[in-house]
Amino acid sequence: MSNKEIKASKKKNVQVAVRVRPMNSGEIDAKGRPIVKVDYVAKSIGLKEKSGVKTFGPFDRVYGPETTQSELYKELVTPLVKEVMSGYNCTIFAYGQTGTGKTFTMEGQHDDSADHSWDTDPTAGIIPRCLHHVFTELERQELDEYSVRISYVELYNEELFDLLGSGNYDQSRLRIFEDPIRKGGVIINGMEEVPVRNRNEVYRLLKMGAERRKTAATLMNVSSSRSHSVFTVTVVMRENTTTGEELLKQGKLYLVDLAGSENIGRSGALNARAREAGNINQSLLTLGRVITSLTSNAPHIPYRESKLTRILQDSLGGKSITTIIATLSPCSSNFEVCFFCCCIFCARS
């Protein structure tokens, strides 16, 4: 493969989608009309300004306020689950300002008192839908043997916590080590990787992790918008080929809900808040640099510059596929749109 071809194939491995959420009542009162417009034909986003409409894109996909959770899943995530079932690693990031719909997109909402179960709930997000999909595929393929494991961690202030750990939140602090066997790999010491046998077990763990994240945020007086969460599904499949050989495949799906991007460039913060904003800056900017380096086929990828990219190192390089869902409110500020277009996604042009 020539350098040009390698570069082209790497570029395809990173795709960017933009999702604009519906306006909420506060925004309608305050602003009157949305300032962000979705152009489905050009796959671009228009930002209304006094001087006219500024256009950003094209992106790989654009989704407007009317897009349902199920439509987004079918179009964007279904192909990735197929890759995972073929033994590849894939990562989905939700990136955007606080309140733009990152958690809604990744986790969704679920009301236990409602008539719906997790898998039929129209508001369920990517994580429960993925797991439902993985189990459906495993059952359909009638494999000789398979296993599914999940882990769920949170990164706050460059400290890693286990959302599926058994002790209290503070005791579930995790440490990252270099893998002595796999060059460039990392080991997260003590992280629970829970084997799950069916959908119901998954939903219980997902709920437990989400509750733990909320409780920890309250205890530490920290909003979830200031931490990153990484939910990982590992699928191992064994099948016997027609020639009698044993085929073992392992695919991993990393689902990442990033800290609110408004922290980038935040100035004037003091003490603890300044450290927190600095760490979020560092991790989001390093993530941008890692993606830029991967898409431009740079000889050095700066994974080691933040814990977020260190723990995602396995999932970002090589043949893996990375999808970034940038979430926007219909009234997002100009700065935000400029930032995400210029700093992270222009890496692909």
Residue ranges in 15-44 that form contacts with ligand ATP under rule CB under 6 A = 21-22
Total residues at interface with ligand ATP (CB under 6 A): 16
| Site stretch for ligand ATP (CB under 6 A), options 93-101, 148-156, 187-195, 282-290 | 93-101
46 is in an annotated binding site: no
C-alpha distance from residue 304 to each of 37, 154, 256, 270 (Å): 38, 18, 18, 27
Task: Report, in Å, the least distance between residue 225 CB and ligand ATP.
Answer: 3
Q: Specify the length of the chain in residues.
A: 349
CA distance 125 to 10: 28
| Site stretch for ligand ATP (CB under 6 A), options 141-149, 205-213, 220-228, 280-288 | 220-228
323 is in an annotated binding site: no
**Per-residue contact flags (x/-) with ligand ATP for residues 252 to 271, judged by CB under 6 A:** --------x-----------
Cβ closest to ligand ATP, residue 126 vs residue 186: 126
**Per-residue contact flags (x/-) with ligand ATP for residues 305 to 334, judged by CB under 6 A:** ----------------------x-------
Handedness of CA 46, 47, 48, 51 (dihedral sign): negative
Among 46, 64, 96, 128, binds ligand ATP (CB under 6 A): 96
Among 102, 129, 133, 213, binds ligand ATP (CB under 6 A): 102
E-assigned strands of the chain?
A: 14-20, 36-39, 44-49, 52-56, 61-63, 89-96, 145-156, 159-162, 173-178, 186-189, 194-196, 228-240, 246-257, 321-328
98 is in an annotated binding site: yes
Nearest residue to the partner ligand ATP, using Cβ: 101
Any contact of residue 225 with ligand ATP (CB under 6 A)? yes
| Site stretch for ligand ATP (CB under 6 A), options 101-109, 159-167, 267-275, 281-289 | 101-109
CA distance 277 to 290: 20
97 is in an annotated binding site: yes
| Site stretch for ligand ATP (CB under 6 A), options 1-9, 29-37, 161-169, 217-225 | 217-225
Q: Which two tokens stand for residue 99?
A: 């309140």
Cβ closest to ligand ATP, residue 104 vs residue 340: 104
* Angle, helices 126-141/78-85, rounded to nearest 10 degrees: 50
Cβ closest to ligand ATP, residue 15 vs residue 100: 100
Among 89, 151, 224, 306, binds ligand ATP (CB under 6 A): 224
Phi then psi for residue 46, to 5 deg, are -105, 135
322 is in an annotated binding site: no
CA distance 157 to 160: 8
55 is in an annotated binding site: no
103 is in an annotated binding site: yes
Q: Shortest CA distance to 96 belongs to which of 292, 220, 233, 228? A: 228
CA distance 291 to 232: 20
CA distance 321 to 315: 8
Task: Report, in Å, the least distance between residue 120 CB and ligand ATP.
Answer: 18
As beta bridge partners, residue 189 has: 175
Beta strands 61-63 and 14-20 are parallel
Among 59, 88, 104, 146, binds ligand ATP (CB under 6 A): 104
CA distance 336 to 42: 21
Binding site feature residues for ATP:
96-103
Give me the residues that bind ligand ATP (CB under 6 A), please.
21-22, 96, 98-104, 109, 223-225, 260, 327
